[in-house]
Amino acid sequence: MMKNNKWTSLALASMVALGAYSCKDDGADPAPIGGNFVLAVTPIASTGVADYLLTTDDLESGTVSIKGNGIEQDGTYRYYVMHNNKFFSMLYGQGNPGAVTTYSMVGGKLNKLSDFQTETVQAFAPVNEDLLLLKIPRAITNPLANFYQVNTNSLLITNEGTIDVQKVADNGESAFFTWIKQVGNKVYAPYMSIQACCSDAFGTAFPNNAWIAVFSYPDMKLEKVIKDDRTSFIGRYFRDGLAEDEKGDVYAFSSSVAALGGVFNSTKPSAVTRIAAGTTEFDKSYYFDVEAVSAGKNITNWIYVGQGKFVVQTTTKEEKGAYADGKRLGILDVYNKTFKDVAGLPEISTIKAITYNNYTARDGNAYVGIALTDGVSYVYKVNAASATATQGVRVEGGSITAVSRVE
């Protein structure tokens, strides 16, 4: 039986050899850094995972990596909102139910508080102690949007109801809320009018009007629709077009990206308008044509950093798209009606994307995530006064998608 043993051991030896040959090499991973800033980073080779959440105490220097670090966020798309000292990570689940994971900050680390189920929604914002969520239909056969009020203390849905978006639009089309914002004790919901049919759901025959639906809270009664015909609709799909300054004036931007059949059909330029504090009408005395002062660029996103100044993302006429987030940064001063390009940014051809969910302490600076095409990302500190950007923390292993802070 010697022979048998020999052959058996030969076979076993080859198995062992193969095991060794296929062994996985483990790279060294930098140790996780804690802190109150939360960075969301998405892997650049998608496999259905949204992001990894990293925490750091310094946005202006150092390196963080999702290799071996970070809290995994399930699902392809995740959206984040801070309210009541809690960090909400919301799953965009299309027709499936959404899910929300809530974290608090404990010792520089995110600490999971709970999960709860919601619907997949297209707009959400803090209102009083709640998060208000809107699920908005895009088919003319379905006139009802759903709203959900989530109490941020109990972390439960405490109230829900419907809004007839065809009645809101009142023009034969459907109102699709671009975003929602609490102003005083009201909820402002700017919307685009969409035909909601005909293989071009977001097309519209009303490209030259702006609307903001005003709701009472918490009963969400439609009180009025503020209208303006100097701009196209306010905000954009899934992007917040409103900001309230220190005086309580509300500023609104229009991207001018209304379209029909895939062709832009608004004759109005990208512009900023205003609703003066204490009123619920557009201020006819205020109009700021952004294209006229920015060599034809249009605003795609903005963040208010205080004293009438915004850090804005823009696209040129050539780059313009209904869902395109601009890769150019500018400083918009809505008091003085000026625009300045930001200096110190990476060459635009090396920019993969600029994050639209960014952090500011309203001290004249914004911290903006810039993902580069080589797969590395940086947080840039953008100073509004000097219109310069300074490279900060380096992010490795994926592309940055959000910058925020939790107390």
Partner 1 sequence: MKQNNKIILIICMLLGVFHTDAQQTTPIFRGQVLSEGRPVTNANIQIDKKVLHTDDQGLFSIPVIIGSTINIQITAVGLHTLKQRILLESTDSTPWIFTLERADQQIEEVEVIGLTKVKEINRQAYNVTAIDATKLHNTTLNISSALDRVAGVRVRESGGVGSNFNLSLNGFSGNHIRYFIDGIPMDNFGSSFQINNIPINMAERVEVYKGVVPIWLGSDALGGAINIVTSTKDRSYLDVSYGYGSFNTHRTVINSGWTTDKGFTVQLSAYQNYSDNNYKVTVNAADINTGAYTQNATVRRFHDQYHNEAVVAQVGVVNKPYADRLLVGMTVGQNYKEIQTGARMVTVFGGWHRRGTTLMPTLKYQKRDLIKGLDVTLNANFNLGSEQNIDTLDRRYDWFGTFKSNGSNGERSKQLYEYRNNEGIATLAANYRLSERQSVALSNVATTFDRKGENKLDPQSSSYEVGKQTFKNIMGIGYSYDVEGVWSSTVFVKYIHQNNENGDVISNTMDRFGYGIASTYFIDPNLQLKASYELTNRMPTAYEIFGDVENQQGNFSLKPERSHNVNLGANYGWKSGDDHRFNLGGNLIYRHAFDFIFNRLNNNQSQLVADNREGVSTRGADADLHYSYKNFLTFGGSLTYQLLRNKQKYEPDYTGISPVYNDQMPNIPYLFGNTDLGLTFRNLGGKGNVLNVNYNLLYVHRFWLYWPSLGGTSLSDEKREIPEQLSHDVSLVYSLHNGRYNIGLEMRNLADTQLFDNFSLQKPGRSFTVNLRYYIQKAK
Site for partner 1 (CB under 8 A): how many residues? 78
- Residue 28 binds to partner 1 (criterion: CB under 8 A): no
Member of 198, 262, 278, 407 binding partner 1 (CB under 8 A) = 198
Smallest distance, partner 1 to C-beta of residue 372, A: 8
DSSP code, position 375: S
The least CB distance from residue 306 to partner 1, in Å, is 35
- Under the criterion CB under 8 A, does residue 167 sit at the interface with partner 1? no
Using CA atoms, how far apart are residues 358 and 368, in angstroms rounded to an integer?
5
Q: Which is nearer to partner 1, 155 or 260 (CB)?
A: 155
Nearer to partner 1, 146 or 265 (CB): 146
Based on the shown chain and the rule CB under 8 A, indicate whether residue 70 belongs to the binding site for partner 1.
yes
Q: What's the CA gap between 90 and 135, in Å, rounded?
A: 13
374 makes contact with partner 1 (CB under 8 A) = yes
Decide whether 152 or 360 has the Cβ nearer to partner 1.
152
Q: Restricting to residues 123-162, which ones interact with partner 1 according to CB under 8 A?
A: 137, 139, 141-142, 144, 146, 148, 150, 155-158, 160, 162
CB of 332 vs partner 1, minimal distance in Å: 28
Kindly identify the residues of this chain, within the stretch 303-332, that bind partner 1 according to CB under 8 A: none
What angle (nearest 5°) sits at the alpha carbon of residue 130, between those of residues 124 and 136?
Answer: 30
Q: Which is nearer to partner 1, 73 or 270 (CB)?
A: 73
Query: Should residue 203 be labelled a site residue for partner 1 when binding is judged by CB under 8 A?
Result: no
Among 34, 49, 340, 390, binds partner 1 (CB under 8 A): 49
By CB under 8 A, is residue 376 in contact with partner 1? Answer: yes
Location of structure tokens 């899934």? 238
Q: How far is the CB of 103 from partner 1 (least distance, A)?
A: 10
Alpha carbon distance 286, 277 (integer Å)? 13
Query: Edge-to-edge, what's the strand order for the sheet holding 399-405?
Result: 71-74, 49-56, 37-42, 399-405
Q: Max CA-CA distance within the chain?
A: 102
Q: Say if CB 79 and CB 61 are below 8 A apart.
A: no
DSSP tag of 70: S
Candidate list 61, 63, 96, 185; residue touching partner 1; CB under 8 A: 96
Query: Which of 126, 149, 210 is CA-nearest to residue 175?
Result: 210
Q: Does 99 bind partner 1 (CB under 8 A)?
A: yes
Binding piece for partner 1, criterion CB under 8 A, among 87-95, 262-270, 312-320, 334-342: 87-95
SS (H, E, C) 37-58: EEEEEECCCCCCEEEEEEEECC
- Identify which of residues 162 and 185 has a Cβ nearer to partner 1 in the complex: 162
Question: How many CA atoms, within 13 angstroms, populate the side-chain half-sphere of residue 333?
Answer: 15
Q: How many CB atoms lie within 10 A of CB 374?
A: 9
Contact status: 351 vs partner 1 (CB under 8 A): no
Report the SS3 class of residue 104: strand
